[in-house]
Structure 1
Amino acid sequence: MLSTTNEAVQKEIDQIKSILKVDFVGMALATMQPSAKKEIRWRYVSGNLSQRYQKIVLQVGHGFAGIVWRTGRRLLEDHLENKTATELLAYPIAIAEELNSVVVEPIFYKDEVVAVLLVGYREANQLRDTLLNKLNDCTSGLAALVAEQVVN
C-alpha cells in the first residue's frame, strides 16, 4: 500500500512540474526518528540535476523547508543569484539544483504542517501571480496523498 502511495505522490510531483512549467519540484517530509530532533528530507523530486538532494538533511527552522515548516507560511525567493556564497549555504537545495527563483509552500493535514513543496526555476525573476495561483490548486490534491502517508 505504501509503495502505491509513493508512486502516486511521485506522479503528482511530476504533473505539478509539467502543469506549472517549472524547472524543479521537490517535496520534503519529516523523517520518523524517535528521541531525535525532527529531520526534514527532500523525498520526492522532479527535474533534479543530480541525486545530491538525497543527502540534504534539515531541521525545523533551517533551510527553505525548515523555515516554512516552522512558520507554516509560504516563502518566496526571486533573486538567489544575488545572495553571497555564505548566505546560500543556508539553502542547500538551491545550491544542489542551481535554483535562482523558488516558491516554498507548506502542506497541511489537520492544521499541522506535514510536508513542504518547493517549486523553482534556474533563472531569476520567474515568479508570477499566475504561478502562485496555480500552485494553490496543485497543493490541495497533494495534501490528500501526503495525509495517507502520515496516517499509515
Structure 2
Amino acid sequence: MITIKDHIEQVLDSLRARTGSDFSGLLLMDNPDAGLRWNFVSGNRSIRSKQIILRPGQGLPGLVMRLGRRVILDDSIPDIRKLRFDNPIMLAENLHAVAVIPILKERDILGLLMIGSRKPTLYSSQLIEMIEQEAEMLSPVIEGLKSGPISSR
C-alpha cells in the first residue's frame, strides 16, 4: 500500500526527471507561524535544504505568498546572481535557476512546488505549464495530509 508520503516523494522524483531538473521540493503551509521549510525534497545534495526554516514573508516562499502566483528565477532575470544570494535554498543546493509554483485550493495557498537547476537555465512556458498542472494534481493530496500529521523524508 502506498502512503501519501510515498506518493509525494514519487511525484517529486518524477517531476525532477520529466523536467530535467536537478532538484524538486514541496513546502507545506502546515504551520506558517512556526516557520516555513521544504518538507519534501528530491535531488538534494545537502541536508541543509531540509533544515532551512524561513519566517513567513522571507525568501522564495514569502515572495510567492505575497504575489499569490508563480515566481521564476532563471536566466531571463538580469540580476539572477544577486537574487541567488537572497534565497537560502538556492545557496544550500547551489541552484542557478528555480521555478516556484503555488499549490492552491480556491484562493488559499496550501503549499509550494519548486524545481531547480544547478546550471544556468531558461524555463520554457511549456515546462512551467507542466509544473502548474502537477501543482493542481497535488492540491487534493495535500488536503488529505491535513487530516493527519505531516511527515517528511
Same fold by TM-score, threshold 0.5 exceeded?
Answer: yes
Q: Structure 2-normalised TM-score?
A: 0.84
CA positional deviation for 1:31? 4.3
Aligned partner of 2:71 in structure 1 is 75
Give the Cα separation in 1 of the matches to 2:48 and 2:66: 24
Would you tell me which structure has more strand in proportion to its own residues? Answer: 1
**Structure 2: any 5+ residue segments left out of the alignment?**
149-153
Q: Secondary structure at the match of 1:43?
A: strand
Aligned partner of 1:10 in structure 2 is 9
Among 83, 105, 115, the residue aligned to 2:101: 105
Moved over 6 A (4+): none
Give the Cα separation in 2 of the matches to 1:30 and 1:134: 22
Q: Structure 1-normalised TM-score?
A: 0.84
CA positional deviation for 1:89? 4.0
- The percentage of aligned residue pairs carrying the same residue is 27
**Structure 1: any 5+ residue segments left out of the alignment?**
none
Q: Deviations over 1:94-126 (max 9, x none)?
A: 001111111110001242001011111111133
Equivalent residue runs for 1:61-72 within 5 Å: 61-72=57-68
Residues 103 and 82 (structure 1), Cα distance of their counterparts in 2 relative to 1, 3 Å cut = closer
Among 49, 52, 59, the residue aligned to 1:56: 52
Aligned partner of 1:96 in structure 2 is 92
Give the Cα separation in 2 of the matches to 1:82 and 1:23: 18
Computed over aligned residues only, the root mean square deviation of the Cα atoms, in angstroms, reads: 2.3
Matched residues, number: 146
Amino acid at match of 2:4: T
Give the Cα separation in 1 of the matches to 2:141 and 2:30: 17
